[in-house]
Structure 1
């Protein structure tokens, strides 16, 4: 990491104004990308997906909760996990705070995972969350949106994630340390852990029809991970060399 110089206020201000110009350009570019995102073609959802929820069996239309837009966070919580993914948990820590604002702007935010509903609800209680969370273990939803894969796909290297095909089988002897760390935190092995992946998908309802409008994965989720927006503005930045974060109830008191 580059060590900043020590300077006068005037020198700092000159450098800050130069940075401000770059930030404004980034904001304009971000606005343009958001426009392009909204302009993507829509794909009609023809499958009758079903989910288990706290209020019973639900369709995809039910997940909208009466609103016209639905944002789904594909939360990594596989059937064999003992707890939700720590990274997804860090992202989800922010959901309750802004879900009420989205709800009052005709947008429903919900999480979907493959774990049984009882596991999801127990973990939700542990974390103190209230956002809606649906279980999709029995259907094709998670596979169709490229966030869940089979053992056979792993063995064959036939996994398409983040719009790319992996092309190689998973090597258990060469598991990256962050993956092994996260898998252990979920009470499972790396291969089982990696059969689920994170992502988010957006849908819109027009009359009786539902359309898929957008999905993003991997680093595309950075913008939803609230702590990083703050760390990117902190003096030392992200300043990380591996998986340093924990579930919010696992930190030592500070």
Structure 2
């Protein structure tokens, strides 16, 4: 830690200066959030199918009768034996779902791995959030969290193949990526009845997922900061006992 040690009075001057920057950043974030809420929507006209604990379901079923649906695209390739560590880190940061449900919003995970691979991993990690498989369908490709030119044109974070190559982002041109997508029922009465048009309002990738990482928000308050990139965190059941308990020698 290289923080200078100063008097309380000097610290207070620096803290007030930072406070003004924090307030400016929050005002900018409020403006972005408002623009996000005002985004136009696109009707989902494809019959996406998923496998879950109750068998095959459609996209409308994932709402569980609520008005809004948030899908976290969890990286879990069908060939893998366990889910991505960075997606697992994010899932560990999901709070009690009752609060989202109280705001008429459902949160689910969706991965391309077959459901028989997903369920044992979910149980191992101790997660309660609903998790569905999109295996064999177009969902991951259409929402650009799986790139395979044999299936669909390459696109990641709203950049096509040419733009990705130009920016040196070629690792994102093939395979799995994480992301979040938001859907809403076109009609509130239809949502309660379990049917009605589904609209896609928002998707985000890459650093856009930082907002969901509560651990990072806590670490951002500290002088040592984040310390690790998101993909450097392990599955939580693989930390040593001393590290998991917060004991460092």
TM-score normalized by the length of structure 1:
0.85
TM-fit CA distance, 1:242: 8.4
Greater Cα shift, 237-246 or 23-32? 237-246
Q: 2:111 aligns with which of 110, 113, 122?
A: 113
Superposition CA RMSD, Å: 2.5
- Counterparts of residues 164-203 of structure 1 (less than 5 Å): 164-167=159-162, 195-203=175-183
Q: 1:108 & 1:29 partners in 2: Cα distance? A: 27
Q: 2:122 & 2:48 partners in 1: Cα distance? A: 23
Instruction: Summarize the Cα distance change of 1:245–1:15 in structure 2 as closer, same or farther, 3 Å threshold.
Output: same
Instruction: Summarize the Cα distance change of 1:51–1:241 in structure 2 as closer, same or farther, 3 Å threshold.
Output: closer
Q: 1:125 aligns with which of 107, 111, 123?
A: 123
Q: Which residue of 2 aligns with 1:6?
A: 5
Question: For the Cα contact (< 8 Å) 1:151–1:195, is it kept in 2?
Answer: no
State the secondary structure of the residue aligned to 1:30.
helix
TM-fit CA distance, 1:99: 1.8
TM-fit CA distance, 1:136: 0.3
Question: For the Cα contact (< 8 Å) 1:159–1:167, is it kept in 2?
Answer: no
1:38 matched to 2:37:
yes
State the secondary structure of the residue aligned to 1:167.
helix
How many residues align? The count is 232
Instruction: Summarize the Cα distance change of 1:106–1:242 in structure 2 as closer, same or farther, 3 Å threshold.
Output: closer
TM-fit CA distance, 1:245: 1.2
TM-fit CA distance, 1:227: 1.2
1:140 matched to 2:120:
no
Q: 2:122 & 2:229 partners in 1: Cα distance? A: 29
TM-score normalized by the length of structure 2:
0.86
Q: Which residue of 1 aligns with 2:156?
A: 161
**Structure 2: 5+ residue runs without aligned partners?**
191-195, 243-249
1:52 matched to 2:32:
no
